Amino acid sequence: MKTTYSTTIERGILTSAYKREIKESIKATKRDSLAKFKKLIEDHHAKAQSQTGTILQVSLFAFALLLVIV
């Protein structure tokens, strides 16, 4: 049974190429995690703004309605 890598020099725990692969993998994972977290915050912020805007509009309408009735 032949392995994908022919010698231990080409790929091994202590080789610089392997370390570079690990570092690149970690960077990519962090980048994805930060992007997801940023999107979550932006979505929450947009939802909060939408709810606040709706509350203000309803309050203004109720106030205007009271002024017309009284």
* Per-residue pLDDT tens digits for 13-37: 667 777 888 888 888 888 778 888 8
Q: How far apart are CA 20 and CA 62, in angstroms?
A: 63
Q: How far apart are CA 61 and CA 68, in angstroms?
A: 11
3-state secondary structure of 13: coil
Q: How far apart are CA 1 and CA 19, in angstroms?
A: 26
pLDDT score for 64: 92
**Average pLDDT value for residue range 42-56:** 84
* Per-residue pLDDT tens digits for 51-68: 888 889 899 999 999 999
**Average pLDDT value for residue range 7-11:** 52
Please state the pTM of the whole predicted model: 0.45
Candidates 30, 7, 28; CA nearest to 17 is: 7
